[in-house]
């Protein structure tokens, strides 16, 4: 039992940051109030219901003000009038992975407005950001999303005939649906097979829906970031070099993340400077 509790605490903490503490409180409460009167699946069910309820309350009402004291704010999970952006999937918000430095919130607002103005009806989707609390706490599996200054933005996608797919991703989580380099594209890590997180996920590629990257909106977003991003403190943007070249966007802000980091031809990674 002790091992189960420990594993539950660790998993809940790694997935949501605050979930481990909520899990521990629920376990203690059940030990005190249920004692031995409830056994088996009923105890599991009561623990689950209590955890979900308390976790929701903590995430909605306690975490945001604590995060703000830590210099981070939650990104809106659903589109609002004048702010045409949203989370790529509900788990990002449910797991408290949508907290950022306020400058990134302002940046995403202006970016989404700019792309929507250029291409009316566009919805910009964000992916993983950061946890709400504690600088240095890792947002797995990312290497650098630990300080509120990092944000991933999804590409825009289209049907095979080229019609824009509003508010849709190619993969359920927004990651691992890689664009593929051409035969003449430069691949800086093509000769590296060890000590790398550049997983190709070949087993997934053919099973994902046929949704090619929508180049006009993606180009507009990337161009806006390299031209306007510095106003919000952007110091680095990671996109695979071949894809930036294909879109015709270049800038000193565009960089390569290195061979030991994940591929970036399934999303745009933005990081802003420390204050």
pTM assigned to the model: 0.92
Checking if the pLDDT of 196 tops 70, the result is: no
Residue range 21-36: mean pLDDT, rounded: 80
Checking if the pLDDT of 261 tops 90, the result is: no
Tokens of 121: 């009806």
Is the Cα torsion angle 113, 117, 118, 120 positive or negative in sign? Answer: positive
Q: Which residue has the higher pLDDT, 195 or 247?
A: 247
Distances (CA, A) of 83 to 3, 103, 122, 209, 269: 45, 15, 11, 28, 20
Q: State the pLDDT at residue 197.
A: 63
* 271 three-state secondary structure: strand
CA 21 to chain CA mean position, Å: 23
Which of 51, 10, 12, 14 minimizes the C-alpha distance to 30? 51
Q: State the pLDDT at residue 184.
A: 77
Checking if the pLDDT of 194 tops 60, the result is: no
Checking if the pLDDT of 41 tops 80, the result is: no
Checking if the pLDDT of 259 tops 80, the result is: no
Task: Evaluate whether 226 touches 251 at the Cβ level (below 8 Å).
Answer: yes
Q: State the pLDDT at residue 36.
A: 58
Q: What percent of the chain has pLDDT over 70?
A: 90
CA dist., res. 96 & res. 77, Å (int) = 11
Q: State the pLDDT at residue 1.
A: 58
Domain borders along the chain are 2-69, 73-272
Q: Which residue has the higher pLDDT, 194 or 76?
A: 76
Tokens of 227: 């031209």
The yes or no reply on domain 73-272 and CATH 3.30.1380.10 is yes
Tokens of 149: 């200054």
Residue range 24-39: mean pLDDT, rounded: 74
Which of 251, 244, 263 minimizes the C-alpha distance to 190? 263
Question: How does pLDDT run across 206-239, given as a tens digit for each residue?
Answer: 889 999 999 999 999 999 999 999 999 999 999 9
């Amino acid at each position: 039992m002790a091992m189960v509790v420990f594993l539950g605490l660790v998993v809940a903490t790694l997935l949501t940051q605050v979930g481990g503490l909520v899990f521990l409180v629920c376990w203690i409460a059940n030990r005190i109030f249920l004692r031995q009167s409830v056994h088996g699946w009923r105890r599991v069910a009561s623990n689950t219901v209590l955890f979900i309820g308390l976790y929701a309350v903590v995430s909605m009402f306690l975490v945001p003000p604590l995060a703000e004291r830590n210099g981070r704010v939650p990104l809106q999970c659903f589109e609002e009038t004048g702010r045409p952006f949203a989370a790529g999937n509900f788990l990002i918000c449910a797991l408290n992975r949508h907290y950022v430095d306020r400058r990134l919130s302002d940046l995403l607002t202006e970016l989404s407005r700019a792309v929507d103005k250029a291409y009316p009806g566009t919805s910009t989707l964000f992916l993983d950001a950061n946890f709400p609390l504690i600088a240095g706490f890792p947002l797995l599996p990312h290497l650098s999303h630990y300080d509120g200054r990092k944000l991933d933005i999804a590409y825009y996608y289209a049907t095979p005939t080229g019609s824009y797919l509003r508010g849709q991703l190619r993969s359920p989580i927004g990651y691992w649906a890689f664009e593929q380099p051409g035969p003449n594209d430069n691949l800086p890590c093509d000769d590296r097979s060890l000590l790398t997180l550049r997983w190709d996920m070949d087993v997934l590629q053919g099973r994902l829906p046929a949704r090619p990257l929508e180049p006009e909106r993606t180009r507009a977003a990337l161009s806006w970031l390299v031209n306007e991003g510095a106003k919000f403190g952007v110091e680095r943007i990671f996109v695979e070099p071949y894809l930036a070249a294909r879109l015709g966007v270049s800038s000193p802000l565009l960089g390569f993340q290195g061979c030991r980091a994940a591929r970036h031809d399934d999303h745009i990674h933005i990081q802003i400077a420390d204050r």
